[in-house]
Amino acid sequence: MCLALPMRITAVDGALATIATAGLEQRASLMLVPEAKVGDYVLVHAGFAISVLGEAEAHETLELLREISAFAPDDAAEADDAG
């Protein structure tokens, strides 16, 4: 299953951005969304920002992902036993 995550741009260096969410920071390409700037939320998949999101939409998506994660097993051992 593929999943794209909303992340906030914290720095831009050419076509690469530093992006962050929930304590995770990484780099992503802005080649598909050259209009994105520091402070914007972008939807990130496989190292590429694929669209710019409004702040409300980004927060709503992140909240839905948190709700979904509440149904996940507490640790990897439980997940291995279940599947």
Residue-wise pLDDT tens for the chain (83 aa)? 788 899 999 999 999 999 999 889 999 999 999 999 999 999 999 999 999 999 999 999 989 988 988 888 876 555 455 44
Positive or negative torsion for Cα 18, 72, 58, 35: positive
Instruction: Report the C-alpha gap between 16 and 1 in whole angstroms.
Output: 25
Structurally, at CATH architecture level, domain 5-74 sits in Roll (2.30)
Residue 72 is predicted with a pLDDT of 81
Please tell me whether residue 65 adopts helix, strand or coil conformation: helix
**For the chain, domain boundaries:** 5-74
pLDDT at residue number 18: 98
